[in-house]
Amino acid sequence: MGNEFMPEGLHAATADLVTETVERLQEVLLYSQITAEEEWPRMLLYRITDAQDTLDMLVGLYAAQAFRAGCDPDVLKRYMQTSQECPRTQKPRQEDIDYLDGLIGRPPGKVRSGRYQSGQIQREHPGDSDLSDRHRDWTLACIHALQAFACAAPDALEDLPADIGSKAKRVYATVIQDGSQPDPTSVPAAEPPPPNGSSPS
C-alpha cells in the first residue's frame, strides 16, 4: 500500500516514466554510433527530446504532488532549479558550440569558455571500456527492474544473465521496500530490452 507522500499511483507512474526515458536514451546511444546517415539529426534529436519531454512529465507530477502537499511555490521553483532552464528554441547556445568544439578538438574562439575546457578534458581523458560496460549493465539492470515492478512480474528477473540479474534484483528490492506494488492490469505492457543490450532485429 502507498502513503500520503508517495501514493501508489505516483510510485507506479514513476517506474513507467523512468523506464520510458531510459529506453529512449538507449536508442540515442544506438543511433549515435551510425557512421553515415543523411537523417541522423532527426533520428537522434527526436529521441533525445522525447526523453526530455518524458522527464518533464515526471517533474510536473512531483511538482504537483509537492504543491498539493503545501510546498511554497518559491521553494518549489528552487527545488526544480528553474534558473538553469533553457528552452529548446534557444539551442544551440554558444556554450553548446564551445562544448562540441572542445570534444572534437576544433580550435576555440577568441574566449575559451568553461564548456570548451570541459569538452577538451573529456576528449583527452575518455572513459575506459570497462567503465562503459559497467554503465551499460547498470542501465539494463535498472530498465529490467523497473519493468518488473510496473508489470508486477519479479520472476522475469530470473531469466537475466547473472551479473545483470543480481543488479536488477537489488534495484527491484529498493523500489518495493515500502511494500507497495502496482496493479499490473493498469500498466501497459512493454517489451523489455534484450539482456545483452543489443537492439532488436
Tens of pLDDT, residue by residue over 13-71, are: 998 898 899 889 888 888 887 766 778 888 899 999 999 999 999 999 999 999 999 99
Residue 66 grid cell: 509537492
The residues, ordered by sequence, that sit 6+ positions from 134 with a Cβ below 8 Å of its Cβ are: none
Would you place residue 186 in the very low, low, confident or very high pLDDT band (cuts 50, 70, 90)? very low
Tens of pLDDT, residue by residue over 92-125, are: 999 999 999 999 999 988 877 789 999 999 888 8
**Whole-prediction pTM value?**
0.64
| Cα–Cα dist 114/122, whole Å | 12
| Cα–Cα dist 19/14, whole Å | 8
Would you place residue 3 in the very low, low, confident or very high pLDDT band (cuts 50, 70, 90)? low
Which pairs count as long-range contacts for 195-199, CB under 8 Å and 24+ apart, including other chains? 195/140, 195/144, 195/159, 195/160, 195/161, 195/164, 196/161, 197/26, 197/136, 197/137, 197/140, 199/30
CA distances from 47 to 32, 53, 105, 192, 193 (A): 11, 10, 26, 17, 16
Residue 139 grid cell: 542501465
Count CB neighbours of 27 within 10 A: 19
